[in-house]
Structure 1
Amino acid sequence: MRWPDEIRDPTELLPPPVEVSDEEVDRALALTDTMTVDTQQGPDFEDRYTEAIARIIEAKRKAKPLPAAPEPERPAAVLDLMAALQESVSKVKASRGEEAGPAEVHELPKLKPKTAAKKTTAKKTTAKKTTAKKTAAKRTAAKKTASRRPRTA
């Protein structure tokens, strides 16, 4: 729920009005007509999942063994990026007239492992005994701060 002053008028969200000529409207309609597909047939528009489920249901109805799952399509060959990069660099060098040998690959310097900082144990100090007056003063100060309420304006 919102308060009435929090609700915005929806007309302020509308885009500003724009003048459109009849020629622009005709071009837009022609573009949508050329992009429209009248028939949705072909391998891109087949519902293979529904067909597979229908075959499974029919096989279960007739108490036959379930149909075998089709083999997944093999993905395209994995492209070796380093080989493609080497080939591209050698082509560019050859077009410049430079030596078309393999590109130089520099080894990265090995980083030194970070050494863990030595931990030193702090000596425990013996707790000093406080007097009854100091303890009582601390308790009353804690009560005052805990029970204090903020001021309202």
Structure 2
Amino acid sequence: MAAVWSGALSFGLVAMPVQLVSATESHTIRFNQLQRGTSDRVRNKRVNERTGDEVPFEEIVKAYDTGEDYVVVEPEELEELAPGRSKALEITGFVDLEKIEPIFFDKTYYLAPKSKEYAKVYGLLHEALSRSEKAGIATFVMRNREYLVAVKAEGDILALHTLHWADEVRDAHLETLLEQAELAEREVQTAVQLVEALSMDWDPHEYHDTYQERVLEMIEAKRTGATVEKGEPPPTTTKVVDLMAALQASVESAKGRRKQADAEEEEATRRSRPPTHIKEAAEKRRARAAIKSEEKLPKPSELKGLSKTELYQRASDANIPGRSSMSRDELIKALSSKSGRRKATVS
């Protein structure tokens, strides 16, 4: 993964060269713009609004509107304002993680040492932050913009979270509404019961982008002429007079689901493990099924006849990483290599 920034991370008198890589990637479905009724792509152009002429990229400059005129600013002039800051990430202090309110967090990056010789310094900072449960606060300049950041230990690596500046966080303006709302203790207790009944362990892997899946299904349906199913309508707004009844019904429903889940878990725990010969037979059946599934995988020549949507769906089924940013040829190559790499053996 390409680094988005490189420079020197320092805390106290200790410094090491590091590089910054994005910790997340978007799997947003991207659409092309066409003229309706045709297959003609519509392109965006940089046009001089006075003459209507297209302007080459190298002739475009940045300018600030003062209200009376424009002040042109060259890239090198911005760089000269902070030549050292654009390569320095200096931790000026450490704070308790719980002191940073979630609203201040923006984007996450991973910090990595640029070479193995700095692994000890990297590990030292990581261990110190992990044991102290603190985050290092720093500022640095990237792409002509200054960032306030928090550096913290996450797993086996150091993560850098960009933070919003204080004047970027809007006031909630909810004080008046909360003062006007009269909360009955019985309603509050029932609401707390609902929260407790719906409490669960946080596992981000249980969640996936179902909307993106529906969009891909719609695209395939439109391509093949199939019927496009509509989604569920939004829930009906709860009337204030029905609030208590809605809360109580929600608690009972949640308790029912929890009771059923607990019963299923107890039943699974009660059952003893299958005998060894049954377990071995099951493993062999799974291996044979894997081989059979492998034999059904399409050959590269067959993949070339599929649409990009079909290729993306197969890549999703095969759990191929980075598939959302792949071109059609890259999807074919990834699926082909996956097919050739996976083998199963049955004794």
TM exceeds 0.5?
Answer: no
TM-score, normalised to structure 1, is 0.30
TM-score, normalised to structure 2, is 0.16
Structure number with larger C-alpha Rg? 1
Structure with bigger strand share is: 2
